[in-house]
Amino acid sequence: MKKETLGPVLKQRREAFALTQRELARKLGVKASHVAYLENGRRRPSLSLLSRLADTLDLDKQRLFLLTHPEAEDLVGLRRDASPSKRPENAWRKFTDNRGILARHKVTDQELKVLQKVNLLGRVTAPSQFIFILNAIRQAVEEE
């Protein structure tokens, strides 16, 4: 069984909506070549573009995030029997209240805003997972 990847999912959904790459790009506010790069797996979308893709193509944001960052799958999954201390809102509160971890990892205000949006996915259950996600984001930005 072949593992699902972001590019083919985007292409299939774009074609299901009968959109060209140029038309999708116009809706997203990017160049058509960027859509082609995404569909061919040569680029990863930013979180804001990921959100616009999900809204435009009527796709699940969590699914797109995990297709974009498959390495985060084990970290962002919630168990059905998660205790109250493992709930996402508690992880976010503990993360933002921990000034030591924020300072140690040099988390900026802008990065906190991005991580807060990631928290809205509702799958982060521990403060340390925000650091993993932050490092994945930083790595993706460096690659662009």
Residues 40-49 have a mean pLDDT of 92
Contacts of 19 (CB under 8 A, 6+ apart): 27
Residues in the chain: 144
d(CA 119, CA 123): 7
Break the chain into its structural domains and give their ranges. Answer: 6-63, 72-143
At 19, list the tokens. Answer: 């959109």
CB 8 within 8 A of CB 2: no
**Chain position carrying tokens 């933002």:** 96
Instruction: Say what the pLDDT of residue 78 is.
Output: 44
Q: Which residue has the higher pLDDT, 133 or 55?
A: 55
CATH class of 6-63: mainly alpha
Instruction: Say what the pLDDT of residue 82 is.
Output: 42
3-state secondary structure 33-91: HHHHHHHCCCCCCCHHHHHHHHHHHCCCHHHHHHHHCHHHHHHHCCCCCCCHHHCHHHH
At 113, list the tokens. Answer: 């805003």
Amino acid found at 127: P
User: pLDDT tens across 73-110, in order?
Assistant: 777 764 434 444 445 457 778 888 888 888 888 988 88
